[in-house]
Amino acid sequence: MNTQLAHDRPILVTGAGGAIGGIGRSVTTSLLEKGYKVRALVRKEDARADELRRLGAEVVVGDLTDLTAMHRAIEGCSRVYFGMSVSPAYLEATVNFAAAARNHGVEAIVNMSQMTVTEMSITETTDSPQHKLHWLAEQVLQWSGLPVVTMRPTAFLESFFLTLGAAGVRDNDELALPLGDSRTSPISAVDVAHAVSVILENPAPHIGKIYNLTGLESTDPEHAARVFSEALGRPIRYRNVPVAPWSDKLRELGIPDHVVAHLAVMTDLHAQGRYDRMTNDLFELTGRKPMSMYDFVKLHAADFTRKATH
């Protein structure tokens, strides 16, 4: 397909209604800023959908497991970002999406997977229900013959250190997480989104490739606490907590069992040293280094800081 025709067609971004800083949302805004037409798939009409329209996206409401919605979303698009949050329906959604994508003859798909899949095979798996779904989803997309580029990021800075860690830092000056003392190289979702948008601009050289994305450095939680202390200007300590009560607390907060089970396995793999991994893929794709943990904490300092009381 010639470049001008591809540029005239909208790029479909799934999961576009996620939180600010989420991959789908960030890919959408990045492509719009570069002048591309974007069709943003969201699950429901809300303020985030309205904001996407304000930014210039064509918003389509639908569920990834709904075949009719997939036809409506994909028709007329030549390039697609496919990503979905942790869910028991992940494999069903992937197959549903792949069937519709084959029907409409898309030119390129950037699929968001996980780096742990690199260590999985027909005989090797993990206890996480989500890891298994990601591995199977990659198999399906490979069997489909679709033109796929696979992104396998390691753990996200936003997940453990912001979503799951911010309250402890803000209220008790501590990173209270069940991560043991092993090292990890978390990456910002914003960096991953930037890599996705770069590929979607010119996907042809990347079709069939797998990119393993890590952060700037691999460090242990004690070092992370020192970085937090420096960035926030106050002492932050790391406290390794048992995974069982930590998981129970997540359930009390309303986090689904499927997600909790996945996070618990991630913490166990981390404690085993399975997340101590580094690649240069992000720099090779984008020409820029990943965001450092220091810069990440500075960026989100308000989330880690108690509001002043008067």
- Mark whether 110 and 140 lie in a shared domain: yes
CB 55 within 8 A of CB 24: no
Average pLDDT of the residues in 174-196: 95
CA atoms of 240 and 49, how far apart (whole Å): 39
Domain of 90: which CATH number?
Answer: 3.40.50.720
- Mark whether 74 and 42 lie in a shared domain: yes
Q: Please, what is the average pLDDT of the chain?
A: 93
Instruction: Of 170, 176, 192, give the one whose Cα is nearest residue 297.
Output: 170
CA distances for 168 relative to 160, 162, 258, angstroms? 11, 10, 23
Q: Using CA of residue 173, residue 176, residue 179, residue 185, what is the dihedral sign?
A: negative
- Mark whether 109 and 136 lie in a shared domain: yes
pLDDT over 70 for what percent of the chain? 96
pLDDT(1) > 50: no
- State residue 179's pLDDT score: 93
Average pLDDT of the residues in 202-230: 97
pLDDT(20) > 60: no
pLDDT(198) > 80: yes
pLDDT(283) > 90: yes
End-to-end CA distance of the chain: 62
Answer whether residue 310 is part of any domain. Answer: no
212: CB partners within 8 A, 6+ apart: 115, 118, 152, 153, 154, 277, 279, 281
- Mark whether 179 and 105 lie in a shared domain: no
- Mark whether 206 and 225 lie in a shared domain: no
pLDDT(218) > 90: yes
Beta strands in the chain (DSSP E): 11-13, 38-42, 58-61, 79-82, 108-112, 148-153, 174-177, 210-213, 237-240
What domain range is 140 assigned to? Answer: 3-155+189-213
pLDDT(217) > 80: yes
- Mark whether 128 and 66 lie in a shared domain: yes
Strand partners, 80: 12, 109
Model confidence at 35, in pLDDT bands (50, 70, 90)? Answer: very high
- Mark whether 81 and 203 lie in a shared domain: yes
- Mark whether 98 and 204 lie in a shared domain: yes
- State residue 232's pLDDT score: 98
- Mark whether 45 and 194 lie in a shared domain: yes
How confident is the model over 250-259, as pLDDT tens digits? 999 999 999 9
- Mark whether 137 and 22 lie in a shared domain: yes
The CB density around residue 253, as the number of other CB atoms within 10 Å, is 10
Instruction: Of 19, 25, 13, give the one whose Cα is nearest residue 52.
Output: 25
Domain of 265: which CATH number?
Answer: 3.90.25.10
Average pLDDT of the residues in 112-121: 91
**Regarding predicted confidence, which is higher, 309 or 24?**
24
pLDDT(289) > 70: yes
- Mark whether 231 and 194 lie in a shared domain: no
- Mark whether 24 and 64 lie in a shared domain: yes
pLDDT(37) > 60: yes
Average pLDDT of the residues in 21-38: 92
Question: How many domains does the chain fold into?
Answer: 2
DSSP H or E stretch at residue 143? helix 129-144
pLDDT over 90 for what percent of the chain? 85
Average pLDDT of the residues in 152-178: 93
